[in-house]
Amino acid sequence: MSTDRGYHHGSLRAAVIQASFELLAESGLQHFSVAAVARRLKVSSAAPYRHFPDRAHLLAAVSAAAARDLRAEITAAADAATPDPAARLAAAAGAYVRYVVRTGAGFPVIFAAELYELADESRREQTRALLTTLLDLAAATGTRTYREDLLLVETTVAVAHGYTTLYVDGFFARNSSTIDDVAARAVAATRTLITPDRA
């Protein structure tokens, strides 16, 4: 029965996406709901439906934004690393851990199976660009075929996402592991996997 409604300053659409990220970071995709987003913004539960036809389209917009932002952070991390291609790909793993722990929007959100049939063009572009960036980083390490690139990307993402999941689920809680610790371990593991002899 809170009476402080009246949220109509311009773009509710952007605010809805922002609030969706916050809820994902706090409670994960499992507890995400359009109603909770509306509550957080102190608008009615009907308001978001003016900007997104349904829940799936909202999540598709979140997916597109997450793919764009994650790609930007991966690129920045790679560029901040040494010119060594293996270090650049490993830096991407670290960026993944940091981004997903912070936002809750990892591959399970970005590539959620329920979004496959949606034909959202913006999302399609952003996810494609994200994968291309990762494949390029992998290819630079000296792989010879597209299949090798793909396997290396999958390994990198598996390690990064595995560490992220363990951290988010509290498996690291008893140790005083910070996000930076976990990210560093993901980077080190990825680095070892790319060129084992130079670990």
Cα–Cα distance, 161 to 142 (Å, whole number): 24
Stretch that binds a copy of itself, among 18-26, 122-130, 132-140, 165-173 (CB under 8 A): 165-173
Q: Which residue has the tokens 């329920």?
A: 114
Q: Which of residues 42-81 bind DNA (CB under 7 A)?
A: 42-47, 49-51, 53-56
Is 196 near DNA (CB under 7 A)?
Answer: no
Q: Is 84 in the site for a copy of itself (CB under 8 A)?
A: no
Asked if 33 interacts with DNA (CB under 7 A), we say yes
Binding partner selected for residue 1 from DNA, a copy of itself, none, CB under the kind-specific 5 to 8 Å limit: none
Nearer to a copy of itself, 13 or 124 (CB): 124
- The total of other beta-carbon atoms located within 10 Å of residue 34's CB is 19
| Min dist. Cβ of residue 57 to DNA (A) | 8
Total number of residues that touch a copy of itself (CB under 8 A): 34
Long-range contacts formed by 47-54: CB under 8 A, 24+ apart: 47/7, 47/12, 48/12, 48/16, 50/12, 51/12, 51/13, 51/16, 52/13, 52/16
Q: What angle do the packed helices 121-139 and 55-80 form, to 10 degrees? A: 30
Query: What is the secondary structure of 112-181 as a DSSP string?
Result: -GGGTTS--HHHHHHHHHHHHHHHHHHHTTT--SHHHHHHHHHHHHHHHHHHHHHHHTTTTTTTT--HHH
Structure token pair of residue 94: 């670290």
**Would you count residue 12 as binding DNA (CB under 7 A)?**
yes
- Letters for 15-54 (x = contact with a copy of itself by CB under 8 A, - = none) are --------------xx------------------------
The answer to whether 171 contacts a copy of itself (rule: CB under 8 A) is yes
- Burial class of residue 57, CB neighbours in 10 A (0-12, 13-18, 19+): middle
Interacting residue ranges for DNA, rule: CB under 7 A: 5-10, 12, 32-36, 42-47, 49-51, 53-56
Residues that bind a copy of itself (CB under 8 A): 29-30, 107-108, 111-113, 116, 150-151, 154-155, 157-163, 165-166, 169-172, 175, 185-186, 189, 192-193, 196-197, 199
